[in-house]
Amino acid sequence: MKIYLCDLVHDIGQRTRVIPLGIGTIACAVKDSYNDQISTKLFIEAKKIIEKLKSDPPDVLAFSNYIWNTRLSLKIAKLAKEIKPNILTVMGGPHARPDQEGLKNFLDKNKQIDAYIPFEGEAPFAALMGECLKKKTFDIKKIGFVQGSFLNLENYKFERLMVKNDDTSKKEKYNSAYYTINRYSSPYLNGDLDEFLDDPSLSPMLESNRGCPYSCTFCAWGIGSGNKLIKKNLDRFLDEMWYIGKKTKGDVWFMADANFGIVKDDITIAKTLKEINKKYGSPKTFIYHTAKNNAKLVFQVANILGDSAPVNIAVQSFDPKVLDKIKRKNLNNKEISQFIKMHQAEGRTTTTDLLIPQSAETLESHLTSMRVGFELGFDVINTNILRMLPGTEMESDKSRKEFGFKTLWRPMDSGHGFYEGEFIFETDESIMETSTFSIEEMHYVKSIHFLTLLYWLHGVGKPLLKLALNIGINPIDIFIFLAKDQKSELSQKILKPLQQEYKEEWFESEEELIKHYSKKEVYEKLATGEVELKKLNLKYFANMIVEIDLLASSIDSIKKYIQENSKIDKELLETVSKLAFDTLKTDLTSPDLSKTIDYKVSKENFDCLKKFQIISKDEAYNDEDKSFSLNFYFPEEKFMLMTNKLKELNFEENPKNAIYTAVCIGIGKFLYNVNTNYAVKESSYNFDKNPFERLPEDQKEIAQIHP
Ligand code: SF4
């Protein structure tokens, strides 16, 4: 029996590309179960699977189903049925409601799919293949029923395939061999993923555990594992890591765990990553999702990983009522503040995420959450619109009704492409109105989010915002002021067109969205590059970066707001304002990578700059001249990386477009580094004086989750 497994990504505008660990694990499950009775092949590129389907079609074609590849996979499944009508098509993954009705609706709508496997896929897929072998057929009518799969048949009754307990202990253990994560061989260790490890454009994906013990209503992560955390055998996982380190050509590794730093094994994993990096030079960057409530372990893990991993403390909201409605428990604000300081003292950047509009969220409660984020000292505050994920509590009919969710549709930013003459893109259903958050407020808040990205995340004028925070002005109030001034150049050139384009990108239904982008005159413009599906905040950020005068005038507006709303010393304000502008590298392609600038300022104001962490505590003051000097520098390696890319992207002719792409792939840098290293090493935290009051309880909670 020949099986092809696909975990597809789009040709154009694709996001991060990772090694297909999921389908690799499924392939192991069937190979372990049926040995030489089957052969498997893995695909991530649409072009390759299309070619192979035409030249050598398999008996079974299976797809992962995620928000970023669902329509692409459905297109290929349809094509496969045209090429070989008796091919068995199977789909599995989280992008379908996993209940009887949800699965039936999905399959009714997508007749080209013969079977759907929700939840963990290995054992059900192996069981389905076993039935095919036993009954010598790929016809679902002859198969009739198989536990764990929803066959696309009239009146089919789905039954979930549950994990059997370890009979010897009568207990489920979180690292039990009985869980599928430990039951089958490793696709890394048996060489199935070698061809992908050879590709430098692919990042290794690791999975040390599966599932999430929490149940935030907007998230699908815990659904597959029944809100349990299921742990992979540590020795086997460490072997996989060493194997990847030796073989991979990718520098960035991704951890698929929902809560890295939740169990003590994660310390061993972090240490091993460092050893692997030392021996093989990879990973240079390690991306992971931080555990929500285990601050001590997360801090230890971050200390071991050092600069190779950013720290994200996602909160989604700070409003207690909202957190209650979305069933989320964050660390309390005192703990978060302490946590941020500890990480910053080690020189690390701390990031948080806020999602809107959550259940029971209002514009005011969201703006308050943003204010709190600034006050707590987060270096980065990411804001995102809530996507509806099938199967989550938030996406249920009950929640939609209870909170008055109104959703709209737009193209998903996961890429698109032309496949067999058809333009295929992915769709994104997001909440754009609730009974407590109007659509007009959602349009308005887009400007606030953009200004946060511009001034805080990308740091244009950040020294002024730091000064503001230190004298009791929250950056959110400055952004509200800037957004209110409808006549300013900033509003006219950036905020208004941004809002307008934002309003226009939404459609009332998925059908309308698809109909629009299926029009020849629309997709042809996409094909020629005349029109692009861009992330709007980044598009307008790129537009702004090339307008030096506009950047300067907007920094000036921030200065004026601070002046008019405080009793700030004029000299201090002027100095910070100048420093904010000096930090910008206005000529992006100029090889002038360093400069020294003198600032005349009183000793008192100089001390304030240090206290507010606007300049380094190590800066020296020149008493004679009453001045200090700052050395600005732009790292050569980053400069070369960026300018080479900009040239390749035709920067001279289309600078906005080139900058947009450079920002999207994370190599667009527009600020000089200043020696403002405010790491206070001597304050390194000692856990004998642990401030996390809830820690013993957290440990207890985890122990209960994993008996
Ligand atoms: S803690 Fe994170 S992964 Fe777990 S349910 Fe909540 S959002 Fe999802």
Pick from 634, 544, 643, 640: which is nearest to 589 by CA? 643
For residue 660, what is the DSSP state?
A: H
Atom index in ligand 1 nearest the CA of residue 316 equals 7
CA angle 164–184–38, rounded 5-degree value: 115
According to the model, what pLDDT value does residue 223 have? 81
User: Cα separation of 7 and 22, whole Å?
Assistant: 8
Residues near 140 by beta carbon (within 8 Å), at least 6 away in sequence: 88, 114, 115, 151, 152, 153
According to the model, what pLDDT value does residue 335 have? 87
User: Cα separation of 105 and 395, whole Å?
Assistant: 15
According to the model, what pLDDT value does residue 556 have? 95
> In which band, very low, low, confident or very high, does the pLDDT at 676 lie, cut at 50, 70 and 90?
very low
How remote is the CA of residue 326 from the centroid of ligand 1, in Å? 11
CATH of domain 2-151: 3.40.50.280
> In which band, very low, low, confident or very high, does the pLDDT at 167 lie, cut at 50, 70 and 90?
low
pLDDT above 70: residue 164: no
Lowest mean pLDDT among 17-26, 664-673, 689-698: 689-698
Exposure pattern of 499-514 as b/e (b: 16+ CB <10 Å)? Answer: beebeebbbeeeeebb
Atom index in ligand 1 nearest the CA of residue 328 equals 6
pLDDT above 50: residue 629: yes
Residues near 460 by beta carbon (within 8 Å), at least 6 away in sequence: 454, 544, 551, 554, 555, 580, 584, 670, 671
Beta bridge partners of 598: 629
Report the nearest-CA residue for atom 8 of ligand 1.
219
CA distances, 506 to each of 398, 450, 497, 513 (Å): 24, 18, 15, 8
* Architecture field, domain 164-385+682-707: Alpha-Beta Horseshoe (3.80)
In the structure encoding, which two tokens stand for residue 34, read together? 């049926």
* Mean pLDDT in residue range 294-306: 87
At 329 the three-state DSSP class reads coil
Give the residue, out of 292, 316, 389, with the most ligand 1 atoms within 8 A of its beta carbon, to mutate for a pocket test. 292
- % of the chain exceeding 90 in pLDDT: 67
> In which band, very low, low, confident or very high, does the pLDDT at 159 lie, cut at 50, 70 and 90?
very high
Atom index in ligand 1 nearest the CA of residue 219 equals 8
Residues near 335 by beta carbon (within 8 Å), at least 6 away in sequence: 295, 691, 692, 693, 694
User: Are 622 and 592 a contacting pair, CB within 8 Å?
Assistant: no
For residue 566, what is the DSSP state?
A: S
According to the model, what pLDDT value does residue 649 have? 85
Give the residue, out of 216, 218, 225, 353, with the most ligand 1 atoms within 8 A of its beta carbon, to mutate for a pocket test. 216
pLDDT above 90: residue 427: yes
According to the model, what pLDDT value does residue 349 have? 85
* Mean pLDDT in residue range 465-475: 96
How remote is the CA of residue 314 from the centroid of ligand 1, in Å? 10
3-state SS track over 595-638? EEEEEECCHHHHHHHHHCCCCCCCCCCECCCCEEEEEEECCHHH
pLDDT digits (tens, 9 = 90+) for 224-266: 777 778 889 999 999 999 999 999 988 889 999 999 999 999 9
User: Cα separation of 114 and 346, whole Å?
Assistant: 53
pLDDT above 90: residue 575: yes
Atom index in ligand 1 nearest the CA of residue 222 equals 5
Residues near 506 by beta carbon (within 8 Å), at least 6 away in sequence: 408, 409, 410, 432
User: Cα separation of 286 and 111, whole Å?
Assistant: 40
pLDDT digits (tens, 9 = 90+) for 579-600: 999 999 988 889 999 999 999 9
Lowest mean pLDDT among 34-48, 444-458, 591-605, 659-673: 659-673
According to the model, what pLDDT value does residue 579 have? 95
> In which band, very low, low, confident or very high, does the pLDDT at 532 lie, cut at 50, 70 and 90?
confident
pLDDT digits (tens, 9 = 90+) for 472-493: 999 999 999 999 999 999 999 9
User: Cα separation of 559 and 568, whole Å?
Assistant: 10
pLDDT above 80: residue 31: yes
At 207 the three-state DSSP class reads coil
Query: Exposed/middle/buried for 343, CB within 10 Å: 0-12, 13-18, 19+?
Result: buried
Beta bridge partners of 209: 231
Lowest mean pLDDT among 340-344, 620-624, 665-669: 665-669
Atom index in ligand 1 nearest the CA of residue 258 equals 3
User: Cα separation of 702 and 228, whole Å?
Assistant: 10
According to the model, what pLDDT value does residue 371 have? 96
Q: Give the binding-site residues of ligand 1, using a 6 Å CB cut-off.
A: 212, 214-216, 219, 221-222, 258, 292
User: Cα separation of 102 and 116, whole Å?
Assistant: 11
User: Cα separation of 27 and 33, whole Å?
Assistant: 10
String of DSSP letters for 355-377 = EESPTT--HHHHHHHHHHHHHHT
User: Cα separation of 294 and 329, whole Å?
Assistant: 12
User: Cα separation of 330 and 378, whole Å?
Assistant: 15
CA distances, 684 to each of 291, 300, 305, 333, 341 (Å): 21, 12, 16, 20, 10
pLDDT digits (tens, 9 = 90+) for 489-511: 999 999 999 999 999 999 999 99
According to the model, what pLDDT value does residue 491 have? 97
- Tell me the CA end-to-end span of the chain in Å, nearest whole number: 40
In the structure encoding, which two tokens stand for residue 299, read together? 């801090």
pLDDT digits (tens, 9 = 90+) for 327-383: 998 888 888 998 888 888 888 888 999 999 999 999 999 999 999 999 999 999 999
User: Are 485 and 553 a contacting pair, CB within 8 Å?
Assistant: no
How remote is the CA of residue 256 from the centroid of ligand 1, in Å? 12
Is 2-151's fold the same as 164-385+682-707's? no
For residue 691, what is the DSSP state?
A: -
* Mean pLDDT in residue range 291-299: 83
User: Cα separation of 124 and 158, whole Å?
Assistant: 12
User: Are 379 and 351 a contacting pair, CB within 8 Å?
Assistant: yes
According to the model, what pLDDT value does residue 682 have? 34
How remote is the CA of residue 402 from the centroid of ligand 1, in Å? 22
The residue type found at 140 is I
At 42 the three-state DSSP class reads strand
The residue type found at 108 is D
String of DSSP letters for 93-126 = SSSS--SHHHHHHHHHH-TT--EEE-S--HHHHH
According to the model, what pLDDT value does residue 665 have? 77
For residue 683, what is the DSSP state?
A: G
pLDDT digits (tens, 9 = 90+) for 634-648: 988 889 988 988 898
How remote is the CA of residue 253 from the centroid of ligand 1, in Å? 21
How remote is the CA of residue 705 from the centroid of ligand 1, in Å? 15
> In which band, very low, low, confident or very high, does the pLDDT at 15 lie, cut at 50, 70 and 90?
low
Report the nearest-CA residue for atom 2 of ligand 1.
258
Query: Exposed/middle/buried for 590, CB within 10 Å: 0-12, 13-18, 19+?
Result: exposed
pLDDT above 50: residue 540: yes
According to the model, what pLDDT value does residue 416 have? 87
In the structure encoding, which two tokens stand for residue 141, read together? 């009518």
Name the strand (E) or helix (H) holding 53.
Answer: helix 46-55
How remote is the CA of residue 690 from the centroid of ligand 1, in Å? 25
For residue 73, what is the DSSP state?
A: H
- Location of structure tokens 């994660």: 266
CA angle 352–357–362, rounded 5-degree value: 100
According to the model, what pLDDT value does residue 690 have? 36
Backbone angles phi, psi at 584, to 5 degrees: -75, 135
According to the model, what pLDDT value does residue 700 have? 39
Mean pLDDT of the chain: 89
CA distances, 561 to each of 69, 482, 555, 604 (Å): 46, 9, 10, 23
pLDDT above 80: residue 694: no
According to the model, what pLDDT value does residue 663 have? 85
Q: Any idea where the domains of the chain sit in the sequence?
A: 2-151, 164-385+682-707
Residues near 216 by beta carbon (within 8 Å), at least 6 away in sequence: 316, 326, 327, 328
pLDDT above 80: residue 305: yes
CB atoms under 10 Å from CB of 451, counted, come to: 25
* Mean pLDDT in residue range 696-701: 40
String of DSSP letters for 253-283 = EEE--SSBTSSTHHHHHHHHHHHHHHHH---
pLDDT above 80: residue 310: no
> Strand (E) positions, 362-435?
380-385, 406-419, 422-433
Atom index in ligand 1 nearest the CA of residue 213 equals 4
How remote is the CA of residue 443 from the centroid of ligand 1, in Å? 27
How remote is the CA of residue 353 from the centroid of ligand 1, in Å? 12
The residue type found at 692 is F
